[in-house]
A = this chain, B = another copy of it.
Amino acid sequence: MSVINLDHISSNLLLPEVKAAMIDAINRDLANPSSQHKRGEEAAELLAKARESVANLVNAQAPKEIVFTSCGTESANHAIKGVAMANAKKGKHIITSNVEHNAVIRSLRRLKGQGYTVTSLAVDAHGHVNPQDVADAITDDTILVSIMHSNNETGTIQPIAEIANITREKKIIFHTDAADSVGVVPIDVQELGADVVSFASNTFYGPTGVGGLYIRRGTLIWPILDGGVQEHNKRAGTENLIGIIGMGVAAEIAKRDMDKRLSHLNTLKTKLLNDLPNYIDEYIINTPPTESLPNLVSISIQYIEGESVMLMMDDDDIAVSTRSACATGSLRASHVLLSIGLSHADAQGTLVVAFGIDNTADDVDRFLESLRNVVTTLRNISPLYQKRAKA
């Protein structure tokens, strides 16, 4: 039996059209897009086409506003460090939230070591930042606000447009890490109002190793990779053309199929939430009922360890995760789950179910069956559960 992937936040299949485009690119032995001879021009045209597709996906005004990077993490590093360095003379204060991805948290930690100060805002029980808190945190020294679009552990979608109204008025650059949103939910940078938006190709069934960064025209930001004149002087380095071509095709299809995908994912999510009480009890749903991703459900299963659930479901050929793959190996409880008010024990009992377009209603049924067995087994040997049962 093939493995059911319910860990789409960590990895996605490649669309057949993406595979075909990448394989074609591999077989064509494309030249360097910067070369001035015919072979270079052909490569440059393919690069331009992919940039246009990605620009369309997020509704950028011009393809030039899109920079191709090597991953969502590079995009977030570029956004934060690039804006911080370029605007250091104006100020050194940055505002963020307590629930950001490590790419943002650790970029900011790096900047703190270089004399920047960071205000990190608390979130409510649904993981939402209060826009008023952003307004209140702004000082004369503030140069950047970085608040994620959606959270990769809870699925919470932040009120980005409202925050952008505040930053725009104060002329402060606003970055949103939309690595789990672009290509999954409609992202229109004109409506959102953020100045810098980071994202990743694999979120929408393109390859890993390619990311994108939307930089609104006129935003003061430096490259973090210095060297050649690639990417309109915003990101040096010979392009990952095969990957970029794949990202371009994935972007086109994401835009085309957006409504269909949203409806499919919402159906699966609703089914899971509706059926779950028939299979297990004593759990907490961390994903807010509204303002959340259509493909993600975070479930804290009380009295047991999420990691044990994940490993036992792996034996049932079901891939789920306890949190972002990027945080693997860390033994500490998720900072996101603690921030929304979960106890340490409940945080450790959390499972992230992330659907993809390849999942079916049958997958949900199989997941629920497996989950019931696993939870029963684990609770039978859980001292915490025994104690509670006796209470």
Using a CB–CB cutoff of 8 Å, the interface residues on chain A facing chain B are 3, 5, 7, 10-11, 13-14, 19, 22-23, 26-27, 29-32, 34-40, 43, 69-74, 76-77, 101-104, 106-107, 109-110, 200, 202, 207-210, 222, 224-230, 236-244, 307, 310-311, 313-314, 317, 319-321, 324-330
Q: Given A32-B11, A37-B7, A314-B38, is A241 in contact with B102 using a C-beta cutoff of 8 Å?
A: no
**Could you tell me the distance between the alpha carbons of A181 and B155 in the complex, rounded to whole angstroms?**
46
**Other-chain contact of A325, B40, B240, B325 (Cβ < 8 Å):** B40
Q: Is the CB of B36 within 8 A of A310?
A: yes
Contact B325 A241 (CB under 8 A): no
- Shortest CB–CB separation between residue A40 and chain B, in angstroms? 7
Q: Chain B residue with minimal CB distance to A113? A: B85
CA distance A110 to B222 in the complex (A): 10
Residue on B with the closest CB to A69?
A: B70
B29 touches A13 (CB 8 A): yes
Q: Nearest Cβ in chain B — how far from A41, in angstroms?
A: 9
Query: Are A10 and B40 CB-contacts (below 8 A) given A23-B23, A230-B326, A326-B34?
Result: yes
| Neighbouring B residues of A32 by C-beta, 8 Å | 7, 10-11, 208, 325
Whether the pair B26, A226 counts as a contact (CB closer than 8 A) is: no
Q: How far is the CB of A221 from chain B (nearest CB, A)?
A: 13
The 8 closest A-B pairs by CB, nearest first: A209-B240, A228-B326, A70-B70, A103-B227, A73-B237, A106-B226, A71-B237, A34-B325
What are 24 A-B residue pairs whose CB atoms fall within 8 Å in the complex? A14-B26, A19-B27, A23-B23, A31-B319, A35-B321, A35-B328, A36-B311, A38-B317, A40-B319, A70-B74, A71-B237, A77-B225, A77-B227, A77-B236, A102-B226, A103-B228, A106-B226, A106-B236, A107-B227, A110-B226, A229-B327, A230-B326, A242-B242, A243-B243
Q: Are B11 and A39 closer than 8 Å at their CB atoms? A: yes
- Whole-angstrom distance between the Cβ of A14 and the nearest chain B Cβ: 6
User: Is the pair A11, B36 in contact by a Cβ cutoff of 8 Å?
Assistant: no
What CA separation (Å) do A238 and B73 show in the bound complex?
Answer: 8
Central interface residue in A13, A208, A307, A327, by most chain B CB within 10 Å: A208
A307 partner residues in chain B, CB cutoff 8 A: 36
Contact of A29 among B14, B210, B314 (CB under 8 A): B14
List B contacts of A209 (CB < 8 A).
70, 209-210, 238-244
